[in-house]
Amino acid sequence: MHIYCVKFKTLRAFLLILLVAILLSINFGGSVAASVYFNYAMRKVPVYYVATDKKQVAISFDAAWGADKTEKIIEICNEYNVKATFFLVGIWVEKYPDMVKKIDENGFEIGTHSNTHPDMTKLSAENQKLELSTCINLIKNITNKDVKIFRPPYGAYNDTLINSAEELGLTTIQWDVDSLDWKGISAMEINNRVLNGVRNGSIILCHNNSDHILDALPIMLDRLQKRGYTISPVGELLIKGEYVIDNNGMQTAKL
């Protein structure tokens, strides 16, 4: 009886190893099945941060309502020789075309944040693409540049939305450091959140019209640079060429 028990355990272990070997050899749409075992996402996941040995981070500003602080944000960034990314909502672009032009002319990156800022997971694929393409066209009519990145409103996404974005040539971007500036917290609290959470490859979320962003931003940029970080737009942080994204949203170069 003991001999049969040992043989059964040996056979079970062999079959498990064989199953793993088969899975590792299969490729599903360019994503190796090994992702099941090595934490790569089988579902669609946006980029939350980038795997890099470089001390580089990206700062982004979502713009949906209000623009009175945007020009000063640009001035502060220029003072520290920093370029950031602005994710713009289409209705904001229509209301502030001169500001969109200023953002672009100062060398900042522009991404789409949808056209009307809905929860896009509740839309059909067709309406998702309409939201994106409408905003893209509004931006391109002002800047004459292609839009390559997209941030979902409210951070809400699903496979359908990421597929819709990809079909329009967009990479979907989230963040791994949330300043929570939109909550009206103080400049000190904003900076504590950012500086305690930042790491190589981080994408920092801020908003262009939050209450204390103008007080927080110079401190943030100064402290990050003193820690040795290069601060760039999101597009310059992203990995070029083939990559994989794990379940935590880490973008890694595909080997």
Mean pLDDT for 213-230 is 98
Mean pLDDT across the stretch 159-181? 98
The pLDDT of residue 255: 83
For residue 219, is pLDDT > 70?
yes
pLDDT bin (cut points 50, 70, 90) of residue 41 is low
Three-class DSSP labels, the chain: CHHHHHHHHHHHHHHHHHHHHHHHHCEECCEECCHHHHCECCCCCCECEECCCCCEEEEEEEECCCCCCHHHHHHHHHHCCCCCEEEECHHHHHHCHHHHHHHHHCCCEEEECCCCCCCHHHCCHHHHHHHHHHHHHHHHHHHCCCCCEECCHHHCCCHHHHHHHHHCCCEEECCCEECCHHHCCCHHHHHHHHHHHCCCCEEEEEECCCCCHHHHHHHHHHHHHHCCCEEECHHHHCCCCCEEEECCCEEEECC
Query: Which positions are annotated as active-site residues?
Result: 62, 207
With cut-offs at 50, 70 and 90, classify the pLDDT of residue 235. Answer: very high
- Where is average pLDDT lowest: 109-113, 198-202, 239-243? 239-243
Position 236 scores a pLDDT of 98
* Mean pLDDT rounded to a whole number for the chain: 88
In percent, how much of the chain has pLDDT > 70? 84
Q: Averaged over 12-39, what is the pLDDT?
A: 38
